[in-house]
Amino acid sequence: RSFYSLECMTCNNSYFICEDIKQKHLLKRNDIFSVNRQLNPQWGVENQKVIYPQQVNDPRIPNPSKYMPDDVRNMYKEAASVFSLSPRSSAALIRLTLETLLKKHLVNDGKEHSLNIMIGMSNSQQPELVTEFMDMIRKSGNEEVHPKYEQLEHEWGDITKDTNKEEVLYLFNYINSICDLLGIANKMQSDYDALPDSQKRAIKNRNYKYQK
């Protein structure tokens, strides 16, 4: 394993790089580098990463939805910033992102409710798929923060189980999809309301005809 200190000639920022060097052929340890300190062609770099400054934003995390309110977006970005360091913390923050969306923008009745109750209260005002996404976030967030007692390894509790990063990445997609669906639905409703009354009556009569 080799470490390098690099300095950007444009911004003068310093970076520390770690490389894992894998042997391609059986050689002595001191044969890794040739006389001029270049990597021997019989060795290869298996992995390279920046270890300082910490790279916090995983490129797999999507940008927040354009329909996401500003306070919800700030919480989303915080969840994204800790994903590489702690996926469990990221999952908990996505749960809090959903709670912020519900409490301040969808329910917003000034009262305290659990996340489960707020999802139920908003259910009739949104597409069924939105509610399903919300429940997936609630379930996954709860499991990361409150593991089931019967699944713990001993009586004192063990929350050191590995978090599935791929599953946490889905949570970012879920909250984005929720905001997209709600934003599109609101736009559609606004456009529909702007139709002339004669067109809306014709649509209503057509629908009534095929509901029989």
* Consecutive H or E run containing 17: strand 14-23
Measure Cα distances from 54 to 17, 61, 166 in Å.
Answer: 11, 16, 21
Work out the average pLDDT over 1-18. Answer: 80
In this prediction, residue 36 has a pLDDT band, given cuts at 50, 70 and 90, of: very low
The 10s digit of each residue's pLDDT in 157-212 is: 444 556 788 899 999 999 999 999 999 988 888 999 999 999 999 999 998 888 76
Structure tokens at 59: 């490129």
pTM for the complete prediction? 0.66
Does the structure show a pLDDT above 60 at 136? yes
The 10s digit of each residue's pLDDT in 62-71 is: 999 999 999 9
Work out the average pLDDT over 74-93. Answer: 90
Contacts of 62 (CB under 8 A, 6+ apart): 172, 173, 176
The 10s digit of each residue's pLDDT in 143-153 is: 776 655 445 44
Cα(first)–Cα(last) distance of the chain, in Å? Answer: 73
The 10s digit of each residue's pLDDT in 40-55 is: 555 565 667 776 766 5
